[in-house]
Amino acid sequence: MINKKGVMGEGILMIYRLLLISFIAFVIMGVSSVFYAHYVDVRDAEARILARDVMECVSPEGILNLDGISVEDRKNILSYCGFGSEDVERFYVELKIENSGKVIWLSQGDSGALWVLDIFESDQLSEGLRKYEPGYYDWSYPIYVLENGNKFEAEVKGQVLISNEF
């Protein structure tokens, strides 16, 4: 005569053992995923490319014609340069044109992303968080500016920040 309670007990024990083995297998797989995964960061390179594109757009041949950039376009400089709205969500671009105390700003994006960069410049962050560090490029050089028909020399200081794609 078969002991039915004994058979059910064996079944429950088997399920428990299988669950335990599956759990151990998942833990080992999870650890190996973390160990072998590597994030390839190309955002600094993207920032340089975007900086080049923006400068070629606003100052072809080295002359920045402010008469051709409206007040609205000065706050949406990436859209003015032909970049789509979906593309620009990760970007912050800022151009500061300075001449004899007068400052003109051309920008687009969330300037708050710059303080995120400041956090990552601290050495205390772990390697695991480094993949969230934004890509960044800044530059500064003299440029000719055309405004109201007047041409004058100014200095342009630019920053491009690219957030992660997650």
Partner 1 sequence: MTIKNKRGGLLNQVIVHIVLVGLIFSLFLFATAGKINSRGVKQQVLEKQLALLVDSAVPGMSFEIERNNINGVVQKIEIKEGKIFIMVGGLGSFKGYPYFSKYSVSVREEENKFIVSVR
Q: Which residue has the tokens 């960061």?
A: 41
Candidate segments 43-51, 60-68, 100-108, 149-157, binder of partner 1 by CB under 8 A: 43-51
Contact call for residues 149 and 162 (beta carbons, < 8 A):
no
Least distance from partner 1 to the Cβ atom of residue 77, Å: 13
Q: 135-147 and 63-65 as β-strands: parallel, antiparallel, unpaired?
A: parallel
Candidate segments 38-46, 66-74, 115-123, 145-153, binder of partner 1 by CB under 8 A: 38-46
Which is nearer to partner 1, 41 or 67 (by Cβ)? Answer: 41
Strand (E) positions, 14-111?
A: 63-65, 91-99, 102-108
Contact call for residues 155 and 86 (beta carbons, < 8 A):
no
Least distance from partner 1 to the Cβ atom of residue 42, Å: 5
Single residue of 8, 9, 14, 75 touching partner 1 by CB under 8 A: 14
Give the span between the Cα atoms of 86 and 93, in whole angstroms: 15
Binding residues for partner 1, rule: CB under 8 A, are 1-2, 10, 14, 17-18, 21-22, 25-26, 28-29, 32-33, 36-40, 42, 45-46, 49-50, 52-53, 81-84, 86-88, 90-91, 165
